[in-house]
Amino acid sequence: MAGALALTLLAGCDSGDDGKLTPDDLAGRYASGGCEDYPDGMGGHNYLTRDFTLTAKAWHLELAIYMDDACTTKLFSSVIDGPYTLGEPSARVEGATEGEFEFTTNKWTAHQGFMADTFTMSGCGAAPWVVGEAQDVTMTGCIGVAHPLADCPQEYDVVALSGDDLYFGERVTDMCSADGRPQALGAYPVVRL
């Protein structure tokens, strides 16, 4: 399966002859094709949707985490912005290009009372949390999911484009250092709109 995906990515890549993607290749808006289901590492699942807008220099992500596998009841959401750069073709992930995605802002919104309480008790942001009100967690980080900017100014990732499907790396490592760059693509692409 992984080999077939890599061949498909290489065949459908809109980049140059060396397989290296450019920011112009990525420019556009991409969103989840449906509710994405990921293991949470503790025997449960995370359900989420992603909506990316990429220009030749910057990235914008609207991420929502849900309570249910139909993605109907939000737990919390995040809006992240920053510049990005693309590097060389990945030596570990066939058909992918290395990228560094910097953080300028990371704003979270609690959509459930217990999430607002959790964020307040965890020291996320600068004030007590209120359901439905966004708060910047760029400097403080939040619940181990968002790292403080001082600890993680950027993530080291890989990206691959297959037609209108944009894949990012599998998020199973600490991507705050080059050593944590993913060694596989994530299970779900975001689709160009």
- The arithmetic mean of pLDDT across residues 144-150, rounded, is 95
E strand or H helix at 48: strand 45-54
Q: Hunting for tokens 């609690």 — which residue is that?
A: 110
At 23, the pLDDT band (50, 70, 90 cuts) reads very high
Q: Which residue has the higher pLDDT, 13 or 168?
A: 168
Tell the burial category of 63 from Cβ atoms under 10 Å away from its Cβ (0-12, 13-18, 19+): middle
| pTM of this structure | 0.89
pLDDT over 50 (residue 2): no
For 117, half-sphere exposure in the C-beta direction (CA atoms, 13 angstrom radius) is 3
User: What digits encode the pLDDT tens for the residues 98-143?
Assistant: 999 999 999 999 999 999 999 999 999 999 999 999 999 999 999 9
Cα end-to-end span (Å), the chain? 26
Between CA 72 and CA 155 the distance in angstroms is: 29
Residue 79 in 3-state DSSP? Answer: strand
Between CA 105 and CA 134 the distance in angstroms is: 12
Between CA 140 and CA 105 the distance in angstroms is: 11
State the pLDDT at residue 18: 65
User: What digits encode the pLDDT tens for the residues 45-94?
Assistant: 999 999 999 999 999 999 999 999 999 999 999 999 999 999 999 999 99
Between CA 83 and CA 59 the distance in angstroms is: 6
Angle at 28 between CA 153 and CA 1, to 5 degrees: 80
E strand or H helix at 109: strand 105-110
Mean of pLDDT over the chain: 91
At 40, the pLDDT band (50, 70, 90 cuts) reads confident
Above pLDDT 70, what percent of the chain? 91
Q: Which residue has the higher pLDDT, 182 or 42?
A: 182
Q: Spell out the domain ranges in the chain.
A: 2-103+152-192
